[in-house]
Chain A
Amino acid sequence: MIDEIAARFPYWASGLLIAIGLYGMIGKRSLVKKLIGMNIFQSAIILFFIAGSLRHGATLPILLRKDGHIIEPIAPELYVNPLPHVLMLTAIVVSVAITGVALAFLVRIYREYEDLDEESLLKKVRQ
């Protein structure tokens, strides 16, 4: 059991982080904490992608040349697949954008009501 968890540690970790993130979004009343929960959630998925593309003993996906000839053998099993990393760069940009917009929302909400607690905020808004 423990061996199994240790062997797939990154996946368990990202699963755990997803759970923490979900708890943050559902269980916490503060809007800021909800946002943090969402961030944890997104990071967990990014971790999942990166862990999935991990390969021990592999090298950079760069062709090494000498005098115009490729000197490294081009065997795919010797390279780390770069695509997930590129995708995750995009995903990080997306999540930064979302976080930025969300924080701007929170600033506006706070200026309006001086409050970021969901329940009391709902009460104030309903008035």
Chain B
Amino acid sequence: MLAALIVPVLARFRHELGYIIALAGVGLSSVASIWALAYVLDNGTMRYNLGGWAPPIGIEYVVDLIAAFVAVIVTSVASLVIIGTRRWADREAGDRLGSFYSLVMLLITGLVGMIVTGDLFNLFVFLEISSLAGYALIFLGGGRAMLAGFRYLILGSVGGSLYMLGVGFLYFSTGTLNMGETKEILTDEATARSVQAGAAFIFVGLGLKMALVPMHLWLPDAYTFAPSSVNTLIAPIMTKVGAYAMIRMFLSVFPDGYLKDIVPIADALLVLGLTGIIVGSVAAMSQKDIRRMLAYSSISQLAVIAVGLGLGTPLGLVAALLHIMNHAVMKSALFMAIASVRFTSGITQVADFAGTGRRMPFTMGAFTLGALAMVGIPPASGFFSKWYAVQAGIESNQWVVVFVVLASSLLTAVYLFRILESAYLHPLKPEPSHGDQHASGFGKTDLDMPAEVQIREAPLDMTIPTVLLGLATVVLGVFNAVIVINILEPGIV
């Protein structure tokens, strides 16, 4: 059954033919995962035994509602982004376009694999596949991206190894690697020290991957200096899948309430999440480079997901999952928009955005929609996930959560409206003060900018996906009730 989803994913390992095959692969798996979501809605959870071995022995792939939901988000956003960044990829990867796209494919394969797998060790393997592809893609940026990529590699590998260590503890206490079976065994005998240690290691490992606050140091540099075609792809989806893996631990590996009552991981998530919201937003306010600003804002938005998860109530989980979707869509809209702006004009500094609103109405319109969604203005999608988080906070009497989530909206407004203000209200500057050469100077990615900088609308195949993503934030906001009632609420019970 699931083969339809898995085959295109696995078959994409060998592709070297570039854009068309990459797009076909991602598009196909996007269609397949939408189909899988429809199937799961009708018939319940899908299971597929890899290699024909029955679950406790063999590796099992499980697609339940939530997995299908996240898979749809990841593959759809990825296909739009691949269409939109094609020109960037041409410019940045040059003659290595083939290997560029096969890395992209590996990245998405790893992410989709992480989503559908029902096996703890298999999750580790996919985690490393996607991370390795991610390191290499970031490294393509040259210059400071190389250092950022190396740092990310060290930290990411430590995260992966810690996760593996945690899985080892679990395995030696339960004797199984299957997620469902682990949960059953742990329900019977839950309080062993080694299981608690395992839970802690897994938490730290995945926390590194999802850039939870004290472990977020790799993220800003990696996002800022990565090539535009890469950070547009990585920023919306990669950390989201780390967060999804964390949710999976709560839902299907550890028994209900285990991570809250016996090991205080939920509390740790809550505290770190709340800190992360503040730290990320405040750091974002003081950034001059817009990509760095969005990277810090990613940290604070991921922290919202962590807070939802840390509350540990069903409503909190709904908030976390909904925010995964919303953040993927709005962050990709924002990154696409600034990639388009940079494509035609080379602008990366916040101060240089003056006047772009009038010259690039569609792109900046999409940016505005994404920004409104980030802040949480009602019809746009970000409002609803924050609303659920606030409600969950009230429900469990965590007034700090209410306060911080609301404050984060304000802070987000401060740093994003800075850009909107300069884009729409300020007159066009004669010449940007810092060109792109300043920010990503070395190696093969040196961009040959036109001598006189022109600010105009980006090519259509960049603008259309950007606008689509921008509109999607509103559409998903309007229809969020449908998603929550039909997919998320049945999914987490």
Identify the A interface with B (CB < 8 A). 25, 31, 34-35, 38, 41-42, 45, 48-49, 52, 83-84, 87, 90-91, 94-95, 97-98, 101-102, 105-106, 108-109, 112, 121-122, 125-126
Contacts and interface: CB of A to CB of B under 8 A. Distances in A.
B161 A42 contact: yes
Interface string B142-179: 11101101100110011011001100100110000100
B144, B150, B153, B160 pick with most chain A CB within 10 angstroms: B150
B150 A105 contact: yes
A125 B147 contact: yes
Tell me whether chain A's interface is mostly helix, strand or loop, or mixed.
Answer: helix
Contacts of A105: 135, 139, 146, 149-150, 153
Interface of B: 121, 124-125, 128, 132, 135-136, 139, 142-144, 146-147, 149-150, 153-154, 157-158, 160-161, 164-165, 168, 171-172, 177, 442-443
Contact of B168 (A31, A49, A90): A49
Contacts of A38: 154, 157-158
A48 B165 contact: yes
B218 to A, nearest CB: 13
B125 A101 contact: no
Contacts of B143: 112, 125
17 contacts: A35-B154, A38-B157, A41-B158, A45-B168, A48-B168, A84-B168, A84-B171, A90-B121, A94-B124, A94-B125, A94-B160, A97-B132, A105-B135, A105-B146, A106-B150, A109-B147, A125-B147
Contacts of B158: 25, 38, 41
Contacts, number: 72
User: Do most interface residues of chain B lie in helix, strand or loop, or is the interface mixed?
Assistant: helix
Given A45-B165, A105-B139, A98 B132 contact: yes
B135 A101 contact: yes
Nearest to B163: A45
Contact of B164 (A31, A35, A45): A45
A52 B136 contact: no
Nearest to A14: B165
A28 B442 CA distance: 26
Given A94-B128, A95-B157, A98-B153, 15 more contacts: A35-B154, A41-B161, A45-B161, A91-B124, A94-B160, A98-B157, A101-B153, A105-B139, A105-B150, A105-B153, A106-B150, A109-B146, A112-B146, A112-B442, A112-B443
A48 B198 CA distance: 13
B157 A109 contact: no
A125 B144 contact: yes
Contacts of B124: 91, 94
B99 to A, nearest CB: 12
A89 B124 CA distance: 13
Contacts of B132: 97-98, 101
A122 B143 CA distance: 10
A31 B151 CA distance: 9
Contact of A108 (B144, B146, B154, B164): B146
Given A105-B139, A112-B443, A90 B153 contact: no
A18 B161 CA distance: 10
Contacts of B135: 101, 105
A119 to B, nearest CB: 11
A126 B147 CA distance: 11
Contacts of A42: 157, 161
Contact of A109 (B136, B150, B164, B177): B150
A34 B154 contact: yes
A121 B148 CA distance: 12
Contacts of B442: 112
A31 B443 contact: no
Contacts of B136: 101
A112 to B, nearest CB: 6
CB-CB nearest 5 A-B residue pairs: A94-B128, A52-B172, A125-B144, A45-B165, A105-B150
Residue of A35, A52, A94 ringed by the most chain B CB atoms within 10 A: A94
A84 B177 CA distance: 10
Nearest to B142: A112
Contacts of A87: 121, 177
Given A101-B135, A108-B146, A112-B442, A91 B164 contact: yes
A13 B177 CA distance: 25
Nearest to B139: A105
Contacts of A90: 121, 125
Nearest to B168: A49
A31 B150 contact: yes
A97 B164 CA distance: 16
Nearest to A90: B125
B109 to A, nearest CB: 14
Give the most central of B160, B161, B177: most A CB within 10 Å.
B161
Given A97-B132, A109-B147, A102 B168 contact: no
